[in-house]
Chain A
Amino acid sequence: MKRSLRSWLWRIPVEREVDEELAFHVEMRTRELTAAGMDPERARALATRRLAALRAVRETCVDIGTKRDRRIRLMQWLEEFRQDVRFAVRQLAAAPAFSLVAVLTLALGIGANSAIFALVDATLLRPLPFPDPDRLVQLWERTDSTSRGSVAPLNAADWDARNHTFDRIGGYIPSVGGMVMAGADGNAETVPRQWVTHGIFDALGLTPVAGRTFQPRDRDERANVVVLSEEFWRARFGGDPAIIGQVLRLDGDPYTVVGVMPREAEIIGRSSIWALFPVGNDPYLRSARFLHVIGRLAPGVTRDAAATDLASIAAAMAAEHPDTNAGRSVSLEPLHEAVVGRDLRVTSLLFLGVVGFVLLICCANVANLLMARATARARELAIRSALGAGRFRVARQLLTESLVLSVAGGLLGLGAGATILATAPSLLPPELLPATMTPAFDARVVVFCAMAAVVVGVVFGLAPVWQSTTTRSARTMASDGRGTTGRGSRLRGLLVAGEVATAVLLLFGAGLLLRTLVAVDTVDRGYRAGSVLTMMVDPLGGRYPTVASLVGFYDELETEIAAVPGVARVGWASTQPMGESSLGDVTYDVVGAPVTDASQRPAADYQVASAGYFDAVDLPIVEGRAFTDHDTETSEAVCLVNEALARRHFPDRSPLGAQLAIRTSSAPDAPVTLRRIVGVARQVKARPDELEPFMQIYVPLGQDPTDDIFVFVRPESGDAGVLAGAVRAAIGRVDRDQLVSVRDVATLGDVATVATSAHRFRAVLVATFAVLALLLAMVGVFGILSYAVQQRLREIAVRRALGATTRDVVVLVVRHAAGVIVAGVVVGLAGAALAGRALAALLFGVRPLDPATFAAVVAALIVTSALAVAGPAWRATRVDPATAFRL
């Protein structure tokens, strides 16, 4: 009661309230003065003057009054909100099944979204974990053919020395190799090692955990120095700072530890040891381009200014070294973009889109549930509004209910998200995510969840509000509650059609990614052996100084391994199919063909292979011969090429007998080896999804042995993995001094699995969510159908009484469902046709408008819809005609 009076009071504008009150006061005083005997005229004049003098007081009062009203309104709003929440909780508790389903649906949607948000946050939104990350750029050599070329070490050194716009420029070799570290107990272990130039850690702005970073004097003194990763330092040396200045024996040579780098340093590579790459004056280092380079811009320098600076340096260098640097400039890319890369960016956004759609479906389902409830509660709401609850008030009440649901769902979703994130890192393919980017469950994710919950609550809450505030109260109260409200059921049909459309879209995307996965998994890898064991065998430098001694060592190993029971074939090669190439690319010319410009020479993977390799992995020789034991140092220099190389240079003749001039670099004075082509090997894949055919040159092991080589072991039958122990033991019997590093033990199947892991991860994740979306959409279809059947029980009973057959009733229900589902499928497929193009970057071996995927999606829809429709249809056929006459 008090409240209603007060609210009546508010309707007076505060100015009038103050005026009236002051006038009353003055009048009372005048009255009193008159009563005390003052002349009424004089008293009135006094009063008028008095009122005029009170202007300032009036302003003060109006001001305070305005603030007072604002506060009271807020208090009242909060009070009402509290009441609404309490009422909503009571309402939801009264319908536990409904509430549970709604909250779980929302928890699912919000949980999945928060986990994916954490991934997107870690990769795309969060700045790199370095000081002033905006000043970090990746530098590339730019030519006519590429804007992101690797950098020659001497070029990087010149950029660093001559620029006026960078604090520091440093480089690293992107691949991480291994070094054998001799332990105090006599056991050697292989430790990941990466080569860097001295400026890299300063460019990143890293502060050493202990010791110091590399300095220019380390380079000048050509010192054997290394820094350790913090993780390795803690795990191997117990985090002892006394390690600084100590000497480690790596690959048999002494290296002094000068510092320990924090975890962030692993952004350049997951390594344990960083060693200084010796950049001397060897002209080869001007033309061999293998460094990745990072620069830190000086404070206040823009990227454009730095680009201009480097462009003029590159122009000067092109003039000084025309052979190697003509036509070469520099391109800059923000480091964050370079690190995240296109693949990861597209993947993150893809996932965000997918889980966003799933959340929309969750919302639509809950909105449907709420609307069904609101229809059931139509009478209650009509009565409340007849009793004076304003339309706005009822709307607020309903929205509060939605918000209570969504906040509960958000809290549960937070838990779900945390659980997903706790298990996710082990599921992420390591090469997809740079080392420093780990999705973490933190305050940002919590804020995201809270915002998602509120937005979601409002979004799905609006539907029932719209429905219930537009129903006519009188009619609803008069009806017996069995009538459907046409507008509500139409809106719900639309929502479910939207769900179906979204599910179709996701299914289609998942279908394309699964087809891509199948394509990369079944791609013709070239070799035909079923199961092959492979491991890198790396004798320490200097142990076998001559070609003969190294080849002899490998022969001895091969004999020992071949004697292992169960081993059928043994071979050696420096490149794994679908895996690592330890020697990398060389450039070459075909002898006798028109001479190509030095900077335009073709490049091919250079692979050393033993005579037994082709047999070991069952790689067919399509023309000519394989290597034999007679291809030695003293015989003619020969090589094999693969089909891609043969097609490119010998399109209409046999390459056999032709000669290749092979150079280890594009430097003009790089040594040239002439090799005669004696055979053509079948094409193997370097990557499962390579778009351009991979070109390869095979060289006999006996003519150019390397100490970074893989052994390939084919078993007589069964899984090659079980031979690993025996093969290692065989190597141990030959390598009695333990001076050989054996690492990367895997089967070729494992190597291929790693190569396709990003595709697998995407396909599995998107497929999981798509199936979830389909289930949710079908729950939606089931929901509206069972509701419609429930609402039309009497109508169906009347029809049956009038002679409708079971078939007629089923048709009635199916027709209702068909409209919704067909509309959803059509819209979904149209969307899929558009979205397929956006996915193109992630697809391989399947076209964005793949008809098979279209067909599969439609088939999946038909099957699941049949399941969703079956229940309500069955219920409809069971309606007893007698209910028609029960009033």
Chain B
Amino acid sequence: MAEMPVKTPNALLHGALDALILRTLAHGPSHGYAIARSIEEKTGEAVVVEEGSLYPALYRMERKGWLEAEWGTSELGRRAKIYRLTDAGRVRLASETDTWRRFAAGVARVLFPQ
């Protein structure tokens, strides 16, 4: 199933899920399921986003003010909670992306020495 890293309770990897969600929402408002599917598709199913990590992350980020939510209508006409990025969320996305870039580059230098 999923690659182990996403499930590791490590602050940095925690941040990775946050970054993925923020990045997804940067394209436009979306509900939880659509966010999960979008991440799975874009990572070529390499990252599987489970409800168990997705929703706590969404609530946490909403609490911190990076996201805000309102009730809207899903593609299928059902009532759904739609998340959107706030300005604070955009700032957070930039810093998370930067952190992740440096982390990935560091890991890459070790794993794939030139």
Contact = CB atoms under 8 A, between A and B. Distances in A.
Partners in one complex: yes
Interface in B58-80: 59-60, 62-63, 65, 68-71, 74, 76, 78-80
Contacts of B55: 18, 21-22, 25, 57, 60-61
B63 A21 contact: no
A6 B78 contact: no
Given A29-B33, A64-B63, A24 B51 contact: no
A9 interface: yes
Contact of A24 (B56, B68, B70, B78): B78
Sort A-B residue pairs by CB-CB distance and give the 5 closest, nearest first. A68-B63, A64-B59, A28-B33, A60-B56, A25-B33
A127 to B, nearest CB: 46
Contacts of A8: 71
Contact of A54 (B32, B51, B68, B70): B51
Given A61-B56, A67-B63, A71-B63, A21 B70 contact: no
A57 B56 contact: yes
Nearest to A32: B37
Interface in B1-56: 31-33, 36, 51-52, 55-56
Contacts of B80: 21, 24
Contacts of A6: 68, 70
Contacts, number: 68
B92 interface: no
A786 B59 CA distance: 60
Contacts of B60: 64
A68 to B, nearest CB: 4
Contacts of A415: none
Given A6-B70, A28-B33, 20 more contacts: A5-B70, A6-B68, A9-B69, A9-B71, A18-B55, A22-B55, A24-B32, A24-B78, A24-B80, A26-B51, A27-B78, A28-B74, A54-B51, A54-B52, A57-B55, A60-B55, A61-B55, A61-B59, A65-B63, A71-B65
A20 interface: yes
Interface residues of B, number: 23
Contacts of B65: 71
Nearest to B80: A24
Contacts of A27: 78
Contacts of A68: 59, 62-63
11 contacts: A17-B81, A21-B55, A25-B55, A27-B78, A28-B33, A31-B76, A54-B52, A57-B51, A65-B63, A68-B59, A68-B63
A12 B71 CA distance: 10
A21 B51 CA distance: 10
A67 B55 CA distance: 15
B59 A65 contact: yes
Interface in A99-158: none
Interface in A1-49: 2, 5-6, 8-9, 12, 17-18, 20-22, 24-29, 31
A67 B65 CA distance: 12
Nearest to B75: A28
Contacts of A17: 81
Nearest to B69: A9
Contacts of A64: 56, 59-60, 62-63
Most buried by A among B52, B71, B74: B71
Contacts of A65: 59, 62-63
A57 B62 contact: no
B6 to A, nearest CB: 15
Contacts of B36: 25
Nearest to B36: A25
A25 B32 contact: yes
B71 A24 contact: no
Contacts of A57: 51-52, 55-56
Contacts of B59: 18, 60-61, 64-65, 68
A20 B62 contact: no
B109 to A, nearest CB: 36
B96 to A, nearest CB: 19
Most buried by B among A5, A22, A29, A57: A57
A72 to B, nearest CB: 9
A79 to B, nearest CB: 13
Contacts of B70: 2, 5-6, 9
A20 B79 contact: yes
Most buried by A among B33, B74, B76: B33
A5 B71 CA distance: 8
Interface string A549-579: 0000000000000000000000000000000
Nearest to A67: B63
Most buried by A among B36, B56, B76: B56
A5 B29 CA distance: 15
Nearest to A24: B80
Nearest to B53: A57
A54 B36 CA distance: 16
A31 B78 CA distance: 13
Interface in A365-380: none
Given A17-B81, A60-B56, A61-B56, A22 B51 contact: yes
Contacts of A67: 63
